[in-house]
Amino acid sequence: MRLAHWLLALSVGVLIATGWLVKLAPGVANAASDYHRLAGIGLILGLLLRVWLLLTGKGPAHWKALVPQRDDLQKMGQTLVFYATMGKSPQPKWYAHNPLWAPVYLFVLLVLVVQTLTGLLMEAYPVMGTFYLPSVHDFWAPFILVFAVLHIFTVALHDAKGTASDVSAMLNGHRIFVVEETDPLQAPGEHTVSLDQLKKPRKTL
Q: Model confidence over 108-165: pLDDT tens digits?
A: 999 999 999 999 999 889 998 889 999 999 999 999 999 999 998 988 888 777 666 6
Could you tell me what percent of the chain has a pLDDT over 90?
46
Categorize the per-residue pLDDT at 51 as very low, low, confident or very high, splitting at 50, 70 and 90.
Answer: very high
Categorize the per-residue pLDDT at 170 as very low, low, confident or very high, splitting at 50, 70 and 90.
Answer: low
User: What are the phi and psi torsion angles at 87 (to 5°)?
Assistant: 85, 5
Cα–Cα distance between 118 and 134 in angstroms, integer? 7
How many CB atoms within 10 Å of residue 19? 21
* pLDDT at 59 > cutoff 90: no
CA distances from 51 to 14, 42, 100, 198, 204 (A): 21, 14, 21, 50, 54
What residue spans define the domains of the chain?
A: 1-57
Length of the chain as a residue count: 205
The pLDDT score that the predictor gives to residue 117 is 95
The pLDDT score that the predictor gives to residue 113 is 96
| DSSP secondary structure of 103-145 | HHHHHHHHHHHHHHHHHHHTTT-SEETTEEHHHHHHHHHHHHH
The pLDDT score that the predictor gives to residue 141 is 94
Cα–Cα distance between 81 and 21 in angstroms, integer? 37
The pLDDT score that the predictor gives to residue 183 is 57
Cα–Cα distance between 110 and 16 in angstroms, integer? 17
The DSSP element (H or E) to which 159 belongs, if any, is helix 133-161
pTM value?
A: 0.77
